[in-house]
């Protein structure tokens, strides 16, 4: 059974992920007409990672996490998210190559978010916000 603090952390991480998904999808649809669906996805992921870092540092991992200098923590978070980003991007590309239509990029972002979530949680918990 999942303990109270772990359950709270997982729920908070999930909420941050949903907000990050909104940032990711919104930025992707704003950027894609200018840079394309693939480059737009790289930039939108960066925006989503920044949003989730802010939420996770303030809420998800605020209890007892060792605090690094702000920019050091931010860069470490981005680096730690690269594993999840690769899984995320691979799922996104697979959906774009499989589905057609205007909803395909949104479904790709959703598939990528789900695919990378576990990797991102473990990276954040044990590489960035460790005690």
pLDDT digit string (tens) for 70-121?
Answer: 999 999 999 999 999 999 999 999 999 999 999 999 999 999 999 999 999 9
Q: Is the pLDDT of residue 23 over 80?
A: yes
| pLDDT (0 to 100) of residue 67 | 74
pLDDT category at 65 given cuts 50, 70, 90 is low
Compute the distance between CA of residue 91 and CA of residue 89 in angstroms, rounded to an integer. Answer: 5
Half-sphere exposure of 54 (CA within 13 A, CB side): 8
Percent of the chain with pLDDT over 90: 85
Nearest-CA neighbor of 21 among 129, 91, 106? Answer: 106
Q: Provide the pLDDT for residue 54.
A: 96
Q: What is the mean pLDDT of the chain?
A: 93
pLDDT value at 64 more than 80:
no
Query: Domains of the chain: which residue ranges?
Result: 4-128
DSSP for 37-98?
HHHHHHHHHHHHHHHHHHHIIIIITTTTPPPPPHHHHHHHHHHHTHHHHHHHHHHHHHHHHH
* Beta carbons of 112 and 89 less than 8 angstroms apart: yes
């Amino acid at each position: 059974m999942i303990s109270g603090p772990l359950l709270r952390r997982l729920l908070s991480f999930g909420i941050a992920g949903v907000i990050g998904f909104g940032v990711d999808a919104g930025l992707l649809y704003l950027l894609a007409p200018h840079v394309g669906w693939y480059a737009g996805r790289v930039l939108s992921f960066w925006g989503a990672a920044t949003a989730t870092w802010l939420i996770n540092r303030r809420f998800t991992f605020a209890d007892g996490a060792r605090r690094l200098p702000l920019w050091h923590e931010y860069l470490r978070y981005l680096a730690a998210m690269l594993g999840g980003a690769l899984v995320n991007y691979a799922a996104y590309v697979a959906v774009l190559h499989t589905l057609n239509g205007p909803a395909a990029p949104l479904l790709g972002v959703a598939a990528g978010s789900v695919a990378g979530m576990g990797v991102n949680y473990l990276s954040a918990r044990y590489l960035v916000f460790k005690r």
